[in-house]
Chain A
Amino acid sequence: MKFVDEFRSSDYSKLLVETLQNSSRDKINIMEVCGTHTMAIFRYGIRDVLPGNVTLISGPGCPVCVTPQSYIDNALDLSSREDVIIATFGDMMKVPGRKSSLLKKKAEGSDIRLVYSPMDCLTIAVDNPSKQIVFLAVGFETTAPMTAVTAIEARKNGLSNLFFFTAHKIVPPVMEALVTDKELNLDGFLLPGNVSAIIGTEPYEFLSKDFNIPGVVTGFEPVDILQGLSTLISLISKKDYSIANDYKRIVRTDGNSQAKEYMDKAFNIVDSNWRGIGKVPKSGLEFNRDFEEFDALKHFKISYEEYDGSSGCRCGEILKGKINPTQCPLFKQACTTENPIGSCMVSSEGTCAAYFRYYK
């Protein structure tokens, strides 16, 4: 597969590992913000090949993990309606609400459909004119533009039975919340490559200017991750607090202007609650007045009361990188991938789920 195989080269990977082994000996704490990075790091066993002075900490970049439990409960309520078809990404299916999950409701007869893409909702809406389709629109800046595009296409095709229950969040504000937390001791960030494809590198400049913390925009293949780590360690050891881009084949400095235009067209930026973390100002996206007709909460007149649902587990500290999953008393005991208690175990790329599957 072109642009995949070359960046999975074993030879290049091993070369970069050698470079890393010969790099700085200082104790370094690096946070990988993005859950997809967490999974890739485990998948390729990258922790094994890092020098002992480098610690990788997983961050809150897992949209399912940080979505409050109230979201799922409201989705489950909607799924009970005879006239509603819920369309969702696979990621949400096992997330436990207070009493049930989408997977369980599906088994009980609710019309809940797995989609690969939000565009598939357009087909479901056309094929089921008497039903109301509700798409569970979760995800960061990588995913939000296509919610906007799907809504615009629905409008273009005169579809009046497609709605979105949105929970989109944006990444830079939560990073600001992290770096202002005095308990965290981070030397640098591995920055989310595909979010950056949309937003560019400029939104991270505050890390450099205001906090003297460098970051490297990094891709997801092993060569990308090792390259990104190598660049970041080099910046840290030289006390160079820049934001660098090691994913130039995808990420432009100003990101994807067309995608940003679609997001500006459809959404307002609002304060948002991140499960386990709390309220983060200006970190969420909601449909604006022009796109109100697509908002499921407004359409179904749901008065949405948010609650976290994080009882007993230490997901909040895990999401902030303060502890790792093995330090949570529930990990692998009461809390497993089949019976998740906390949000980090629920998501396919949650930190706890990654540790559960891969930690030796």
Chain B
Amino acid sequence: MSTITLSHGSGGIQTNQLINDVFFKYFSNDILNQMNDAAHLAIDFKKLAFTTDSFVVNPLFFKGGNIGKLAVCGTVNDLAVSGAKPLYLTCAFIIEEGFAMDDLKIIVKTMAEEAENSGVKIVAGDTKVVEKGNVDGVYINTSGIGVIYEKVNINCANAKLGDVIIVNGTIGDHGMTILCERNNFGFEGDLSSDCASLNTLVGCMLEVYNGIRVIRDATRGGVAAVLNEISDSSNVSIVLEENLLPIKEEVKGAAEMLGFDPLYIANEGKLCAFVPEAQAEQVLLAMRTHPLGRNAAIIGRVTNEMGKKVYLNTIVGGKRLVDRPSGILLPRIC
């Protein structure tokens, strides 16, 4: 069948066919193939990290990925930045009646590839089909479980005076790509989502120094959102250096034209790490040896000045507030 129909979600023959021909075909592993109602997992008695996320992106397919890739990377990254080795994911699909089967296969195949890439297994899932118009194509939820590395203590409230803030590469790539593709601004260029699983990068960082205090992935609301959350939780001031922010030429160009600040634009393959000053250089160098950290850069530090907020030292030598993001991003001509 070339499209998804309501009978694919009704639990009968068509549902089984869909599960076998699409989901099991691509996600196949020893746990999933047991076809139990729940995955039976054996994890040594350790501290676990457990998370969930839902994905409703528009457009579903974009340069650098699709909703499936986001669904795997997003949950893997939430586990990774908690200092955990991601092990297992579940995934649940809510699919609109009439959705093209070929598109579903591309999404599922991408998810399988990304899961393999990240070293995780998709061990349980669910499928629902709803009437046309009730979802935008497909929505995906993934939950994930991982084992927290020993001797690692990563927490939003851990940032301390003197800590240095490192990002693993250029900011604003994902959000700018989506915005431009969604709104048809007529921009052509090498804009591409940075969607990626960060677990091996985090593994590499923790191996070099397991005392990294905070790691967060900078998704919706960009680096500005995440740093404001950390500033609040840790009750510290953060000062960024404008001339140190790594931004791709294309993102800069599009941001200038639309009146956006890359600090507020979403990423899907970028993290912010708070590292004690003494270890910052070695962590940075280790990151730069990893494919997802080639453009890693120190962008600021935790200070004890002014209010407990996030500030930016501008190229002019002034200082401005980098407030929490508010509402949706809209382009401006004024």
**A interface residues with partner B (beta carbon < 8 Å):** 1, 4, 8-10, 13-14, 17, 35-36, 42-49, 62-64, 89-91, 93-94, 103, 114, 116-117, 120, 139, 143, 222, 226, 336-338, 347-349, 356-360
> In the assembled complex, which residues on chain A have CB atoms less than 8 Å from the CB atom of B317?
10, 13-14, 17, 45, 48-49
Give A139 to B334 CA distance when docked, in angstroms. 8
> Contact at A10–B334, with CB atoms within 8 Å?
no
Docked complex Cα distance between A43 and B186 (Å): 27
Closest to B313 in A: A45
Question: For the complex, is B316 an interface residue (Cβ under 8 Å from A)?
Answer: yes
Stretch at the interface among B21-29, B70-78, B325-333: B325-333
* Cβ of A236 to closest chain B Cβ, rounded Å: 21
Known: A338-B326, A360-B311. A91 touches B332 (CB 8 A): yes
A1 pairs with B330, CB closer than 8 A: no
Chain B window 298-328, contacts with chain A (Cβ cutoff 8 Å), 1 for yes, 0 for no: 0000000011000111111111110100111
Cβ-neighbour of B327 out of A9, A94, A116 (below 8 A): A94
Given the complex of chains A and B, what is the CA–CA distance between A49 and B306 in angstroms?
17
The 8 Å CB contact of B315, one of A13, A91, A143, A357, is A13
| Cβ-defined contact, B185 with A116, below 8 A | yes
Partner pick for A43 among B252, B307, B314, B326, CB 8 A cutoff: B314
Contact: B316 with A226, CB < 8 Å?
A: yes
Q: Which of B253, B259, B307, B318 is the most central at the interface, judged by chain A CB atoms within 10 Å of its CB? A: B318
Q: Which residues in chain B, 220-252, are within 8 Å of chain A measured between CB atoms?
A: 243, 249, 252
Q: Could you tell me the distance in whole angstroms from the C-beta of B193 to the nearest C-beta in chain A?
A: 20
Smallest beta-carbon distance B104→chain A, Å: 27
Say whether B258 faces chain A, with CB atoms less than 8 Å apart. yes
* B259-286 interface (Cβ within 8 A of A): 259
Contacts of B327 in A (CB 8 A): 94, 337-338
Q: Which residues of A contact B13 (CB under 8 A)?
A: none
Q: Is B36 among interface residues, defined by CB-CB distance under 8 A?
A: no
A-B contact pairs, 21 of them (CB 8 A): A1-B256, A9-B315, A10-B315, A13-B317, A17-B317, A44-B315, A44-B316, A45-B318, A49-B316, A49-B318, A90-B333, A94-B330, A114-B183, A143-B333, A336-B326, A338-B326, A348-B259, A358-B320, A360-B306, A360-B320, A360-B321
Nearest-neighbour CB distance to chain A for B70, whole angstroms, equals 23
Docked complex Cα distance between A43 and B312 (Å): 9
Is B256's CB under 8 angstroms from A4's CB? Answer: yes
Q: Is B257 an interface residue (CB 8 A)?
A: yes
The 10 closest A-B pairs by CB, nearest first: A45-B318, A48-B318, A90-B330, A90-B331, A10-B315, A45-B314, A13-B316, A116-B185, A348-B332, A45-B320
| Complex contact A44–B320 (CB within 8 A) | yes
Number of B interface residues in the complex (CB < 8 A): 34
A48 to B257, CA, bound (A): 27
On whether the beta carbons of A45 and B334 are closer than 8 Å, the reply is no
- C-alpha gap A8/B186 in the complex (Å): 27
> Which residues of A are found within 8 Å of B315, using beta-carbon distances?
8-10, 13, 44, 222
Minimum distance in angstroms from B276 CB to a CB of chain A = 27
Closest to A18 in B: B317
Please give the distance in Å from B309's CB to the nearest CB on chain A: 8
Contact partner of A347 (CB less than 8 A), chosen from B257, B321, B328, B334, is B334
A348-B323 contact in complex given A43-B314, A120-B186, C-beta closer than 8 Å = no
Nearest Cβ distance between residue B319 and chain A, in whole angstroms? 5
Chain B hits for A1, CB < 8 A:
249, 252-253, 256
Q: How far is the CB of B254 from chain A (nearest CB, A)?
A: 10
- Report Cα–Cα, A63/B259, bound state, in Å: 16
Q: In the assembled complex, which residues on chain B have CB atoms less than 8 Å from the CB atom of A49? A: 316-318
In the complex, given contacts A1-B256, A357-B321, what are 17 additional A-B residue pairs having Cβ atoms less than 8 angstroms apart? A1-B252, A8-B315, A13-B315, A43-B314, A44-B314, A45-B316, A45-B317, A46-B318, A47-B318, A89-B334, A116-B183, A337-B326, A338-B326, A347-B334, A357-B323, A358-B320, A360-B307
CA distance A144 to B73 in the complex (A): 46
Among B257, B258, B312, B332: residue with most chain A CB under 10 A: B332
Cα–Cα distance between A91 and B249 once the two chains are bound (Å)? 25
* Closest Cβ–Cβ distance, residue B259 to chain A (whole Å): 7
Question: Which chain B residue has the least Cβ–Cβ distance from A34?
Answer: B334
Scoring B residues 87 to 109 as 1 if CB is less than 8 Å from chain A, else 0, what string do you get?
00000000000000000000000
